């Protein structure tokens, strides 16, 4: 069986230095957005999805586990943060904490269940679990069903930063994104990340070397789910609502698409993919359901001819890991 | 008690669809090593095929029952020839992603032309009305769906487990290279298998058209439930898929009567319970 990622690339100290350079360039570019004419709301939205896709990529690109239910972490954290901010009137930092904690608990429960099966079954189980949560949120009173939680107050982060100002909000979201991204980067390059990659390549051998692979996969699942929840909590401040679309299976599909377009198992791929897909949705918003058709076509084209994704192709061309 | 029997019947009907769809998934998975995410979209195409045959061609339900699976099956075989066959040797997950993309395309196109609302499809004259069984009133069409699905499921089981063709099929599932060495055209068999699985989905679509109306998204949520059914039953055994499908339909029907709030979620909850108790599924092998 061929692997999901480009395994011809070396991981040497040199590559890590390249990655750090690209990271700094990306951070500077993103930090300069408010000084350009780019619509900040669009970039903030893309950043939230980029973090979500990076979290998803941690699981598929480095653990070889395709979760088709990552929307459940996004949506759960979103609902819990929104409820904490609006009903309990908590300050933003605690609101985020509530959302992340909810995603953490959820990922422990769902991870414990889904990690029991491999490959294709794992995907089906995560999809079914997220659909289960979708129906629960559809009926639960605190989510307000089809209406969602609307008009969420943005408040003052740590009592100082006024999140109702777009520029302040932008930098708060950017810092959140960069922190999450660096954490994932650190995880991937840690001994834990190396073991995870070995499980992806050959689980039997990892077991024979004495690694308890189930525990590694479980921890990767919890990390991925919690970080996805962090993305969901940040998104609440950008969108100022939490709705059923965030828990729907189509959202899980979009995350998969973003990562696939950018490059499975690449560090920067999910970020590029998220920007591409969100930009496409913005520009094609007037075309109704054709957006779905185009998304489907991108899936088909990527799988058939472009499996490395944008960043994966660039990395392959320059023989660097990005 | 009337309401209980009525819900049981609804459960049996949903169970018929679960059985037909999970059977198709299992057959396709066995040969192609692909989980066909497009199964729900192809089920929907079956219902639309019946609708078009009636409204554009004046072709009645009985012919649609034969023609719609053939038409959609051919469409499926074209998909297999033009796309799915290039996935041989790649990770399983690419099959899931590709068929998910196909499902999005098909559903998106139908939504563009037909919106999200349902189109009516009339019950054929011969199956209208109902029978009083003494303990309940049985609408004839609903009884027909259950009986006919059961016959088709058992027929498929017989085809795969008891005939010469089925023996080739099972052998090719185990070791395609060896079967090829015996002079059997395995690629053609794979295409036909995909066509058969897709045809079963389309047949379920035709059967459901008069009950659930014809909607572009009719298969989108259904396929996720069927995935849960497949996880519960495992894809190792044909008979296992059939029994699990019907059993879960009945359990869902009972839930609708005793605790309607949980009727949407009961299959998923059962999936969780089965995974906790017996992670390999009820009939499945470890995978």
Dihedral over alpha carbons B84, B89, B90, B91 (to 10 degrees): 110
Q: What pLDDT score does A261 carry?
A: 94
Distance from the Cα of A117 to chain B's closest Cα (Å) equals 7
Structure tokens at A48: 């939230």
Q: Positive or negative, the Cα torsion across A122, A124, A129, A133? A: positive
Q: Give which of B92, B97, B280 to mutate to test A binding, by max A Cβ within 10 Å.
A: B97
What letter would DSSP give residue A301?
H
Residues 251-280 of B with CB under 8 A from A: 261, 264-265, 268-269, 271-272, 275-276, 279-280
Q: Positive or negative, the Cα torsion across A91, A96, A99, A100? A: negative
Q: How far apart are CA A244 and CA A28, in angstroms?
A: 34
Structure tokens at A194: 């190396």
Using 50, 70 and 90 to split pLDDT, how confident is the model at B262?
Answer: confident
Q: Does the structure show a pLDDT above 80 at B153? A: yes
- Opening angle at CA A95, ends A24 and A156, nearest 5: 75
Least confident of A18-22, A190-194, B56-60, B282-286: B282-286
Choose the most confident range, by mean pLDDT, from A4-18, A155-169, B167-181, B241-255. B241-255
SS3 state at A144: coil
The answer to whether residue B90 neighbours chain A at the CB level (below 8 Å) is yes
| Beta carbons of A259 and A266 less than 8 angstroms apart | no
Residue A21: how many CB atoms within 10 A of its CB?
10
Inter-CA distances, A41 with A181, A238, B221, Å: 20, 7, 32
Q: How far apart are CA B75 and CA B39, in angstroms?
A: 12
Q: What pLDDT score does A11 carry?
A: 56
CA end-to-end distance (rounded Å), chain B: 43
Question: Which residues from chain B sit within 8 angstroms of residue A260, using beta carbons?
Answer: 97
Distance from the Cα of B240 to chain A's closest Cα (Å) equals 16
SS3 state at A36: coil
Q: How far apart are CA A26 and CA A34, in angstroms?
A: 14
Transcribe B251-271 into DSSP letters. Answer: HHHHHHHH-GGGTTTHHHHHH
Structure tokens at A248: 């729907």
* Sole residue written with tokens 């996004």: A74
Least confident of A208-212, A261-265, B136-140: B136-140
Using 50, 70 and 90 to split pLDDT, how confident is the model at A3?
Answer: low
Inter-CA distances, A64 with A54, A58, A118, A124, Å: 14, 9, 10, 15
Dihedral over alpha carbons A132, A133, A138, A144 (to 10 degrees): 170
Phi, psi (rounded to 5 degrees) for B119: -100, 135
Contacts of A149 (CB under 8 A, 6+ apart): A79, A82, A83, A86, A143, A241, A242, A243
Q: Does the structure show a pLDDT above 60 at A1? A: no
Distance from the Cα of B91 to chain A's closest Cα (Å) equals 6
Distance from the Cα of B144 to chain A's closest Cα (Å) equals 30
The answer to whether residue B18 neighbours chain A at the CB level (below 8 Å) is no
Q: How far apart are CA A31 and CA A151, in angstroms?
A: 27
Using 50, 70 and 90 to split pLDDT, how confident is the model at A7?
Answer: low
**CB pair distance less than 8 Å for A124 and B228:** yes
Inter-CA distances, B183 with B108, B161, B172, B176, B180, Å: 42, 21, 12, 11, 5
Using 50, 70 and 90 to split pLDDT, how confident is the model at B108?
Answer: very high
Question: Which residues from chain B sit within 8 angstroms of residue A2, using beta carbons?
Answer: 89-91
Q: Which of A208, A127, A30 is nearest to B268 (CA)?
A: A127
Q: How far apart are CA B59 and CA B282, in angstroms?
A: 42
Q: What is the pLDDT of residues B31-58, one digit of tens each?
A: 888 899 999 999 999 999 999 999 998 8
Structure tokens at A302: 């990527």
Q: Which of B61, B6, B42, B9 is nearest to B197 (CA)?
A: B42
Q: Does the structure show a pLDDT above 70 at A253? A: yes
Q: Give which of B44, B96, B114, B266 to mutate to test A binding, by max A Cβ within 10 Å.
A: B96
Distance from the Cα of B195 to chain A's closest Cα (Å) equals 20
Q: Give which of A71, A128, A252 to mutate to test B binding, by max B Cβ within 10 Å.
A: A128
**CB pair distance less than 8 Å for A124 and B107:** no
Q: Give which of A281, A288, A296 to mutate to test B binding, by max B Cβ within 10 Å.
A: A296
Q: What is the pLDDT of residues A156-214, one digit of tens each?
A: 888 888 888 888 899 999 999 999 999 999 999 899 999 998 988 888 899 999 999 99
Q: Which residues of B241-277 are buried (b: 16+ CB within 10 A; e: fewer)?
A: bbbbbbbbbbbbbbbbbeeeebbbbbbbebbbebbee
Q: What pLDDT score does B287 carry?
A: 43
Mean pLDDT, range B202-221, rounded to an integer: 92
Q: Which of B226, B251, B253, B263 is nearest to B241 (CA)?
A: B226
**CB pair distance less than 8 Å for A113 and B94:** no
Distance from the Cα of A298 to chain B's closest Cα (Å) equals 7
Phi, psi (rounded to 5 degrees) for A167: -70, -45
Residues 121-160 of B with CB under 8 A from A: none
Distance from the Cα of A229 to chain B's closest Cα (Å) equals 22
| Beta carbons of A28 and A153 less than 8 angstroms apart | no
Of A118, A128, A299, the CB nearest to B101: A299
Question: Which residues from chain A sit within 8 angstroms of residue B287, using beta carbons?
Answer: 117-121
**CB pair distance less than 8 Å for B108 and A296:** yes
Q: What pLDDT score does B172 carry?
A: 87
Using 50, 70 and 90 to split pLDDT, how confident is the model at B286?
Answer: very low
- Opening angle at CA A128, ends B22 and A80, nearest 5: 165
Q: What is the pLDDT of residues A41-61, one digit of tens each?
A: 899 999 999 999 999 999 998
Residue B151: how many CB atoms within 10 A of its CB?
10
| Beta carbons of B105 and A293 less than 8 angstroms apart | yes
What letter would DSSP give residue A266?
-
- Opening angle at CA A49, ends A118 and B224, nearest 5: 40
Question: Which residues from chain B sit within 8 angstroms of residue A291, using beta carbons?
Answer: 108
Can you count the helices (H) and strands (E) in chain A? 13, 2
Q: Does the structure show a pLDDT above 80 at A248? A: yes
**CB pair distance less than 8 Å for B101 and A124:** no
Pick the residue from chain A with its C-alpha nearest to B103. Answer: A296
């Amino acid at each position: 069986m061929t692997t999901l990622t480009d395994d011809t690339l070396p991981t040497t100290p040199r590559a890590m230095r390249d990655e750090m350079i690209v990271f700094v360039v990306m951070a500077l570019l993103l930090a300069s957005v408010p000084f350009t004419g780019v619509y900040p709301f669009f970039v903030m939205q893309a950043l939230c999805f980029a973090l979500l896709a990076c979290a998803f990529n941690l699981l598929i690109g480095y653990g070889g586990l395709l979760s088709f239910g990552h929307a459940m972490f996004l949506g759960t954290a979103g609902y819990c943060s929104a409820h904490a901010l609006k009903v309990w009137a908590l300050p933003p930092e605690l609101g985020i904490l509530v959302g992340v904690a909810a995603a953490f608990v959820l990922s422990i429960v769902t991870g414990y269940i889904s990690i029991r099966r491999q490959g294709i079954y794992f995907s089906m189980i995560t999809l079914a679990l997220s659909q289960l949560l979708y129906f629960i949120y559809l009926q639960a009173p605190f989510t307000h069903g089809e209406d969602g939680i609307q008009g969420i107050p943005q408040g003052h982060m740590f009592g100082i930063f006024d999140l109702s100002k777009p520029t302040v909000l932008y930098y708060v979201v950017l810092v959140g994104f960069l922190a999450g991204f660096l954490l994932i980067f650190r995880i991937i390059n840690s001994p834990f990340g190396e073991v995870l990659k070995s499980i992806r390549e050959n689980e039997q051998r990892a077991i024979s070397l004495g690694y308890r692979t189930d525990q590694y996969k479980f921890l990767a699942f919890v990390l991925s789910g919690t970080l996805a929840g962090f993305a969901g909590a940040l998104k609440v401040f950008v969108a100022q609502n939490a709705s059923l679309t965030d828990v729907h299976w189509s959202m899980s599909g979009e995350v998969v698409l973003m990562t696939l377009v950018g490059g499975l198992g690449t560090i920067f791929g999910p970020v590029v993919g998220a920007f591409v897909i969100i930009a496409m949705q913005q520009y094609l918003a007037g075309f109704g359901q054709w957006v779905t058709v185009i998304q489907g076509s991108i899936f088909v084209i990527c799988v058939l001819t472009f499996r490395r994704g944008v960043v994966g192709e660039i990395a392959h061309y320059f023989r660097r890991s990005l | 008690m009337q309401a209980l029997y009525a819900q049981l019947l609804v459960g049996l009907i949903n169970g018929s669809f679960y059985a037909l769809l999970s059977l198709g998934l299992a057959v396709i998975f066995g040969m192609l090593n692909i989980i066909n995410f497009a199964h729900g979209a192809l089920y929907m195409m079956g219902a639309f095929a019946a609708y078009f045959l009636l409204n554009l061609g004046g072709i009645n339900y009985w012919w649609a029952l034969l023609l719609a699976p053939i038409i959609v099956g051919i469409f499926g075989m074209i998909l297999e020839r033009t796309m799915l066959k290039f996935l041989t040797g790649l990770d399983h997950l690419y099959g899931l992603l590709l068929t998910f993309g196909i499902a999005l395309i098909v559903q998106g196109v139908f939504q563009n032309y037909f919106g999200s609302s349902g189109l009516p499809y009339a019950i054929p004259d011969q199956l209208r009305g109902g029978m009083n069984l003494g303990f309940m009133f049985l609408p004839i069409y609903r009884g027909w769906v259950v009986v006919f699905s059961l016959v088709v499921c058992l027929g498929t089981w017989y085809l795969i487990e008891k005939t010469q063709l089925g023996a080739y099929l099972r052998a090719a599932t185990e070791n395609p290279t060896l079967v090829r060495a015996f002079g059997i055209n395995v690629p053609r068999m794979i295409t036909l298998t995909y066509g058969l699985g897709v045809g079963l989905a389309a047949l379920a679509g035709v059967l459901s058209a008069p009950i659930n109306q014809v909607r572009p998204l009719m298969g989108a949520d259904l396929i996720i439930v069927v995935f849960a059914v497949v996880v519960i039953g495992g894809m190792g055994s044909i008979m296992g898929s059939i029994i699990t499908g019907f059993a879960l339909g009945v359990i869902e029907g009972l839930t609708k009567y005793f605790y309607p709030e949980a009727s949407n979620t009961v299959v998923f909850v059962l999936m969780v319970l089965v995974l906790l108790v017996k992670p390999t599924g009820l009939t499945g092998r470890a995978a």
